[in-house]
Amino acid sequence: MRECCGVFGVYDYKGKNVIFNIYLGLMTLHHRGQESAGISLYEKSGIKTGKVYGLVNEKLLANMKKYKSTAGIGHVRYSTAGNSTLYNAQPISNRSLSIAHNGNLVNNIQLRRQLTKAGSKLRTKSDSELILALLTKERESTGDLFEAIRNSVNELEGAFSLVLLTNDGKVVAIRDPYGFRPLCEGEAGNIMAFSSESIALDINNIDLSRDIQPGEMVIVDENGVQRKRYASYTRRAHCMFEYVYFSRADSIIDGRSVYRVRYKLGVNLAKTYKTDADVIIPVPDTSRTAAEGLSHESGIPVAEGLIKNRYVQRTFIMPEQKQRDGAVKIKLNPLKTVLSDKKVLLVDDSIVRGTTLKNIVHMIRKAGAREVHVRITCPPIISPCFYGIDIATHDELIAAYKKNEEIRKSITSDTLSYQKIDGLIDAIGIPREDLCLGCLMDQYPTSKAQELSDRLKNKSRKKRVRYWEDD
Ligand code: SF4
C-alpha cells in the first residue's frame, strides 16, 4: 500500500481536550486522502486509536471524544494499490507509539527484510509500519526518544513527514532531510499543532508559526518544546507537485502561498505562448487560480465553463481505472451558454494518463465550442514518483512514451502546450537545486529512487510493475 496522505498533531498545555482540533484538522486535509481517516489520543492507560473507512465522521468523533485527551494525532489516507481496508489505515499504533505518515519510503523492501529477520512482527504492508517498528525497537534499546528517532530515521530513504504520539503523552513532528512533503507548526495560546498544510491550523484558529525544517524533529510535552536537528544538511528537495496540484490553494508551504504560485504559473504560460482565444476555461478546481493569472496577463476573459459536482472524489486519487473513467462524466458538466461557438483555451494542471482530459475536450466540443486549445500548468510528467504521489509506473504516464503532438492527437485538442521547467521554477520561487523535479526530468534527489527508475524503465512494458512490488 502506498499513500498520498495528510497528518495532524496537537498538544494542549492547559489540559483541554484536543479531539475537536484533530477532527477539524482532518476535515480540512481530506483533499490529501479520502479512503480512510484515523485518530490516536493519549490516555494514561495507553494510546487509544480509532479509524473509519472513508471520510472523518461524527461516528469516529463520538467514539473518541469520551477520552478527553490533551495530546493526539490524526491521519487521512489514500491508498494506490491493493485493498483499501481499515486494517491498513493510520495512525498505526502499538503500546509504545502511534504514527501518522505522509510520504513513501524508497528502501522499504530492504527494511522489511531487515526487520523481519530481526524478529519484528509486521501486520500490514504499509511502509509506515516499518518506521513504527524501527522507532519502537530503538526506543526500547536506547530508552531515549531523541536517540531512538535519530537512529531510526537515518535508516530511512525517501519521503516522510511524520507526527508521533508517545505512550507518555508527547507529540513529535519529524520531517525527512530533503523536505519532500510539507509539514508546518502553529501556536495559539495553550495549543501547539503540527499539520501537513497550514489550512488545518487556520480552521482551528491557530497561527502558522513556521515550517518544520528538513532533517528536524520537534518534541512537545508538558515541559515545553524542543527542536532538534537529527540529520546534517544534505540538500532540500521540496515536491513541485504540492504547489501545482496536490495542496490546497489557500495553504502556505515552505513560506510560499500556493495561490500565488498557481497564479504565476498562469502568467508564465501567457508569457511563453501566444494566447488567442475567446474565453479561458479552467478545469476545476486546481486550475482555477492559474486561469486567473493567464487571463490577467493575456486580457482574455476567464469563465466557468465546466460545472463540478462537489460530491465526487478527485479522479486522480481514485484507485480503480473504471471508477476514474466514470467519475469524469459524473464530476463535470459543460456549460453550453459559455462554450457554444467559442474558441476555448482550456487550462489544466497536469496530464497523467490523458484519459480525463480527452473526455473533457470531447465534452467541450459537444457543448458547441469551435476550437479547444489546451494549456498545462505543469511540464510533462515522464517518470514515476517514489516519494508519495501516486504516479507509480512509466506506463501510467502518457508523456513517458508519447511526444507532444501524439498526446495532442490522443486528447483530440487543436493545440497543446505545457509549462516550461523554467516557468515552473520561476512561479514556485524556490531555487531549482532545492526542488524535487524527479518525475519531470527523470533525475531524482536520492540514489535509490534513481536506481529504481532506471531499472523499471529498462524492463519490457509487460514486466513493468509498481516499484514496491519489484523485489
Ligand atoms: S518525483 Fe515529482 S511528484 Fe514525486 S516528489 Fe518529486 S516532484 Fe513531487
Is the N-terminal amide bond of 276 cis, ω within 30° of 0? no
Strand partners, 50: 39
Please tell me whether residues 268 and 215 are part of one structural domain. no
Q: What is the pLDDT of residue 82?
A: 41
3-class state of residue 375 by DSSP: strand
Residue 251 within a domain: no
Residue 366 within a domain: yes
Q: What is the pLDDT of residue 424?
A: 98
With contact defined as beta carbons under 8 Å apart, do 76 and 56 qualify? Answer: yes
Residue 248 within a domain: no
Q: What is the pLDDT of residue 120?
A: 85
The yes-or-no verdict on residue 79 having pLDDT over 80 is no
Q: What is the pLDDT of residue 463?
A: 54
- Which cell is 415 given? 493545440
Nearest CA to ligand 1 atom 2: 439
Give the nearest ligand 1 atom to 445 CA. Answer: 6
Please tell me whether residues 262 and 220 are part of one structural domain. no
Q: What is the pLDDT of residue 122?
A: 87
Please tell me whether residues 221 and 260 are part of one structural domain. no
Please tell me whether residues 414 and 281 are part of one structural domain. yes
- The total number of residues shown for the chain amounts to 471
CA atoms of 174 and 156, how far apart (whole Å): 12
Q: What is the mean pLDDT of residues 364-393?
A: 93
Q: How much distance in Å is there from the Cα of 432 to the middle of ligand 1?
A: 13
State which of 200, 234, 268 marks the end of a domain.
234
Within 6 A (CB) of ligand 1 lie 180, 239-241, 385, 387, 389, 436-439
Please tell me whether residues 181 and 318 are part of one structural domain. no
Give the nearest ligand 1 atom to 391 CA. Answer: 3
Q: Which amino acid is at 325?
A: D
Please tell me whether residues 187 and 263 are part of one structural domain. no
* Banded model confidence at residue 391, pLDDT cuts 50, 70, 90: confident
The yes-or-no verdict on residue 351 having pLDDT over 80 is yes
How open is the CA angle 129-132-134, to the nearest 5 degrees? 110
Q: How many domains does the chain have?
A: 2
pLDDT digits (tens, 9 = 90+) for 260-285: 999 999 999 999 998 899 999 999 98
What is the average pLDDT value for the chain, to the nearest integer? 91
Q: 323: which residues sit within 8 A by CB, 6+ positions away?
A: none
Please tell me whether residues 203 and 341 are part of one structural domain. no
Nearest CA to ligand 1 atom 5: 239
Q: Which range, of 86-95, 210-219, 317-326, 356-365, averages the lowest pLDDT?
A: 317-326
- The DSSP secondary structure of 302-316, one letter per residue, reads B---EEE-TTS--GG
Residue 110 within a domain: yes
Q: Which range, of 172-176, 410-414, 445-449, 467-471, averages the lowest pLDDT?
A: 467-471
Give the nearest ligand 1 atom to 242 CA. Answer: 8
Q: What Å distances lie between residue 468 and 109, 170, 384, 386, 444, CA to CA? A: 7, 32, 12, 9, 17
Report pTM: 0.93
State which of 234, 264, 287 marks the end of a domain.
234
Cα R_g (the chain), whole angstroms: 22
Domain with 353 in it: 256-469
Secondary structure element (H or E) that encloses residue 323, with its range: helix 321-331
Task: Name the DSSP letter for residue 245.
Answer: I
Give the nearest ligand 1 atom to 438 CA. Answer: 1
* Banded model confidence at residue 325, pLDDT cuts 50, 70, 90: low
Residue 431 within a domain: yes
- The DSSP secondary structure of 12-32, one letter per residue, reads ETT----HHHHHHHHHHTGGG
Q: What is the pLDDT of residue 1?
A: 36
Q: Which range, of 42-56, 119-133, 354-368, 408-422, averages the lowest pLDDT?
A: 119-133
Q: How much distance in Å is there from the Cα of 276 to the middle of ligand 1?
A: 32
Secondary structure element (H or E) that encloses residue 185, with its range: strand 184-188
How open is the CA angle 415-421-427, to the nearest 5 degrees? 100
Rounded to 10°, the helix 288-298/258-272 angle is 40
How many Å from the N-terminal Cα to the C-terminal Cα in the chain? Answer: 15
Q: What is the mean pLDDT of residues 96-118?
A: 92
- The DSSP secondary structure of 349-385, one letter per residue, reads S--SSSHHHHHHHHHHHHTT-SEEEEEESS----S--
Task: Name the DSSP letter for residue 246.
Answer: I
Q: What is the mean pLDDT of residues 86-92?
A: 86
Please tell me whether residues 15 and 124 are part of one structural domain. yes
Secondary structure element (H or E) that encloses residue 133, with its range: helix 127-142
- To test the pocket of ligand 1, the residue of 261, 439, 450 to mutate (highest count of ligand atoms within 8 Å of its CB) is 439
Residue 249 within a domain: no
- To test the pocket of ligand 1, the residue of 389, 390, 419 to mutate (highest count of ligand atoms within 8 Å of its CB) is 389
Q: How much distance in Å is there from the Cα of 400 to the middle of ligand 1?
A: 15
Q: What Å distances lie between residue 465 and 316, 387, 470, CA to CA? A: 19, 16, 6
Rounded to 10°, the helix 355-366/321-331 angle is 30
5 is annotated as an active-site residue: yes
Give the distance, in angstroms, between the CA of residue 115 and the centroid of all CA atoms in the same chain.
27
Q: 427: which residues sit within 8 A by CB, 6+ positions away?
A: 243, 261, 262, 264, 265, 267, 268
The yes-or-no verdict on residue 94 having pLDDT over 70 is yes
pLDDT digits (tens, 9 = 90+) for 182-234: 999 999 999 999 999 999 999 999 999 999 999 999 999 999 999 999 987 77
The yes-or-no verdict on residue 315 having pLDDT over 50 is no
Give the nearest ligand 1 atom to 389 CA. Answer: 3
Torsion angle of alpha carbons 438, 443, 448, 454, nearest 10°?
Answer: 110
- Which cell is 27 given? 476535515
Please tell me whether residues 25 and 67 are part of one structural domain. yes
CB atoms within 10 A of CB 347: 28
* Banded model confidence at residue 314, pLDDT cuts 50, 70, 90: low
Nearest CA to ligand 1 atom 8: 239
3-class state of residue 433 by DSSP: helix
Please tell me whether residues 74 and 179 are part of one structural domain. yes
Q: How much distance in Å is there from the Cα of 442 to the middle of ligand 1?
A: 10
CB atoms within 10 A of CB 285: 14
Q: How much distance in Å is there from the Cα of 16 to the middle of ligand 1?
A: 39
The yes-or-no verdict on residue 294 having pLDDT over 90 is yes
Q: How much distance in Å is there from the Cα of 345 to the middle of ligand 1?
A: 27
The yes-or-no verdict on residue 81 having pLDDT over 70 is no
- To test the pocket of ligand 1, the residue of 3, 241, 316, 441 to mutate (highest count of ligand atoms within 8 Å of its CB) is 241
With contact defined as beta carbons under 8 Å apart, do 186 and 235 qualify? Answer: no
Higher pLDDT, 263 or 324: 263
**What percentage of the chain carries pLDDT values higher than 90?**
75
CATH of the domain at 45: 3.60.20.10
Nearest CA to ligand 1 atom 4: 385
3-class state of residue 73 by DSSP: strand
CATH of the domain at 463: 3.40.50.2020
Residue 246 within a domain: no
CA atoms of 90 and 129, how far apart (whole Å): 9
The closest alpha carbon to 50, from 28, 31, 69, belongs to: 69
CA atoms of 281 and 337, how far apart (whole Å): 13
* Banded model confidence at residue 393, pLDDT cuts 50, 70, 90: confident
Give the nearest ligand 1 atom to 240 CA. Answer: 7
Residue 283 within a domain: yes
Strand partners, 468: none
Q: What is the mean pLDDT of residues 120-134?
A: 89
Give the distance, in angstroms, between the CA of residue 343 and the centroid of all CA atoms in the same chain.
34
Task: Provide the sign of the torsion angle of the four alpha carbons 108, 113, 115, 119, taken in this order.
Answer: positive
Strand partners, 39: 50, 74
Annotated catalytic residue: which of 4, 5, 184, 378? Answer: 5
Please tell me whether residues 272 and 420 are part of one structural domain. yes
Q: What is the mean pLDDT of residues 33-59?
A: 92
Q: Phi and psi at residue 386, in whole multiples of 5°?
A: -110, 10
Q: How much distance in Å is there from the Cα of 248 to the middle of ligand 1?
A: 17
Q: What is the pLDDT of residue 158?
A: 94
Q: How much distance in Å is there from the Cα of 434 to the middle of ligand 1?
A: 12
- To test the pocket of ligand 1, the residue of 175, 180, 239, 452 to mutate (highest count of ligand atoms within 8 Å of its CB) is 239
Please tell me whether residues 268 and 341 are part of one structural domain. yes
Q: Phi and psi at residue 182, in whole multiples of 5°?
A: -70, 155
The yes-or-no verdict on residue 466 having pLDDT over 80 is no
